[in-house]
Amino acid sequence: MTEVTIRRATPDDAADVATMVREIAAHEGQAAQVHVTDEQWRALLPRPEVIVLLAERGGRAVGYVSSVRQLHLWTGGEMLNLDDLYVRPGHRDSGAGRQLMAALAALAAPAQLPIRWGMEVDNVDAQRFYHRLGATLRPKILAVWPPSAYTDLATGHRPLTPAPNLAKSPVRGRSPPPNNQPQPPYPARTGDGNDHHRVDRRRGDRGDRQLHPRHRQHDVRLMCRPGGEGASPRRRGDSRGGQPGHRGRHRPL
């Protein structure tokens, strides 16, 4: 099989990037949330803070990883906010997902930028893949506040809604994670292997099932050493820190 190569996307790749974004959105039932056109991608890709890496085989785009370099207000430093990681069907099991993550880490390593992303709590296969890369996973709750929900409040036409009575965790007053929240070491796989997790199904996989961190429920952080290796992550609020709270361009759930 032809070797997979990784390179940074250019404006000439706008159509390929836009097509793959639509593919992953359609797979998730979120096609209606994608509004960026090919021409908009052509304008976005040259921006230095927008990082899109393409995986290619035989001159054809077979996957991508996208992230945005942004300021972290707790530390005054910068971080990479990973948005999508995707490998097309027919090109998985080849190590392309791992190669894309390694290439992103290599870009982050010289400046020691934390990389932050997330995924659904039930996507255990993706959690295994990221854990093997050296990422640290912790449970969080995603809040999405669309304009339709906050407009009345912003214009003074609606009072604050009373908060529900949520059980509190004894640790720092946080709400406890769901009882079925997977934590390392991860539970054994169940089912016939034909589920809809978008990572490799087999133990020892190479991590190129369709990996996608959107509608985040697991908060993930990866620190980088020079050379692109994963390093032991620090806790939120440290000198290199990660973005607290939510991550990325959230779309309605």
Average pLDDT over residues 74-91: 93
* Residue 216 pLDDT level (bands cut at 50, 70, 90): very low
Q: What is the pLDDT of residues 52-69, one digit of tens each?
A: 999 999 999 999 999 999
Say what the pTM is: 0.65
Q: Alpha carbon of 165 to those of 153, 180, 206, 245: distances in Å? A: 21, 21, 43, 21
pLDDT score of 53: 99
Beta-carbon neighbour count of residue 59 at 10 Å?
7
Most confident of 1-5, 158-162, 179-183: 1-5
Dihedral angle sign, alpha carbons of residues 92, 95, 97, 100: negative
By residue count, the chain amounts to 253
Cα gap 125→218, rounded to integer Å: 13
- Is residue 121 within 8 Å of 181, Cβ to Cβ? yes
- Is residue 208 within 8 Å of 92, Cβ to Cβ? yes
Task: Give all domains of the chain, ordered by start, each with its CATH number.
Answer: 4-231 (3.40.630.30)
